């Protein structure tokens, strides 16, 4: 159901009930008071017709299944408004005999009571629908808040995991640096060991040559 249509409908029901009461009151009046009351009723009828046009436009803009229901309501409201126009014509004509006048008064009072009862029923239905809509809005808001809290919790978890990953990355980077330093140290040690090998080998060769020379000179004497 359209909230816009319901708003126009409430205004129309209130206006219709008010116009019925004014018609009933106008029957019992005479002279200028009667003219003033009839003028008020005619102005109210114009306003009611404007509301019906607005409801008609709103109903025709909705989905077909909703539109059918609302247009059926509109037909009832148009019939109700036509009845009001007929009553105004009877009042304006002033050709009512006493029995017709009493009948119109009784009819007006009955219509006013019926309109008032219909108005109360429609208002109660509208209030109930508004309460249900309010409850749905509250449920949606609660769900939205729960979703927001869950989203914040997830973001916090992701932030914590990101910090852990950054810490692990920094740790790995430090390990890589240490491994690089260790490789350099091992390379230096390996070079030193190779150099020391060559030095020791050279010393051994020199010693062997020296011993051989010493033995040669000794044996040659």
The predicted structure's pLDDT at residue 103: 54
What average pLDDT does the structure give for the chain? 79
Residue 144 has pLDDT above 60, yes or no: yes
Token readout for 2 is 């359209």
| Token reading at 120 | 């109360």
Let me know the angle formed at the C-alpha of 11 by 23 and 132, rounded to the nearest 5 degrees. 135
Q: Which tokens is 219 given?
A: 């044996």
What six digits make up the tokens of 102? 């009493």
> What is the length of the chain?
221
Read off the CATH number of the domain in which 49 is found: 1.20.58.400
Do residues 52 and 147 touch, judged by C-beta distance below 8 A? no
Could you tell me the end-to-end alpha-carbon distance of the chain, in angstroms, rounded to an integer? 134
Give the helix, strand, coil percentages of the chain, each rounded to 5: 95, 0, 5
Tell whether 85 is covered by a domain. yes
pLDDT surpasses 80 at 121: no
Judged by phi (left if over 0) then psi (alpha if -120 to 50, else beta), residue 97 lies in beta
What's residue 118's pLDDT? 58
CB 5 within 8 A of CB 70: yes
Range of the domain at 42: 1-94
Q: Tokens at residue 150, please?
A: 């869950």
Q: Is residue 15 part of a domain?
A: yes
What is the total count of domains within the chain? 1
3-state SS assignment for residue 105: helix
- pLDDT of residue 70 exceeding 80: yes
pLDDT at site 174: 77
pLDDT tens figures, 165-192: 888 888 887 777 888 887 888 888 888 8
Residue 88 included in any domain: yes
Q: What is the pLDDT of residues 95-108, one digit of tens each?
A: 444 554 555 545 55
**pLDDT of amino acid 124:** 62
């Amino acid at each position: 159901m359209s909230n816009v249509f319901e708003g126009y409908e409430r205004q129309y029901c209130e206006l219709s009930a008010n116009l019925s009461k004014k018609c009933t009151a106008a029957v019992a009046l005479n002279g200028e008071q009667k003219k003033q009351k009839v003028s008020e009723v005619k102005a109210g009828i114009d306003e009611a017709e404007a509301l019906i046009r607005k409801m008609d436009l709103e109903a025709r803009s909705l989905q077909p299944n909703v539109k059918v229901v609302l247009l059926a309501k509109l037909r009832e409201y148009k019939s109700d408004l036509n009845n009001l126009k007929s009553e105004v014509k009877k009042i304006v004509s002033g050709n009512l005999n006493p029995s017709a006048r009493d009948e119109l008064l009784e009819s007006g009072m009955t219509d006013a009571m019926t309109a008032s009862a219909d108005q109360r029923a429609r208002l109660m239905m509208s209030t109930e629908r508004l309460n249900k809509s309010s409850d749905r809005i509250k449920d949606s808001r609660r769900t939205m808040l729960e979703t927001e809290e869950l989203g914040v919790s997830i973001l916090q978890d992701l932030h914590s995991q990101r910090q852990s990953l950054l810490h692990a990355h920094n740790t790995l980077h430090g390990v890589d640096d240490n491994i690089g330093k260790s490789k350099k140290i091992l390379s230096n040690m390996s070079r030193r060991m190779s150099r020391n090998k060559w030095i020791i080998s050279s010393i051994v060769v020199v010693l062997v040559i020296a011993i051989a020379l010493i033995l040669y000179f000794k044996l040659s004497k």
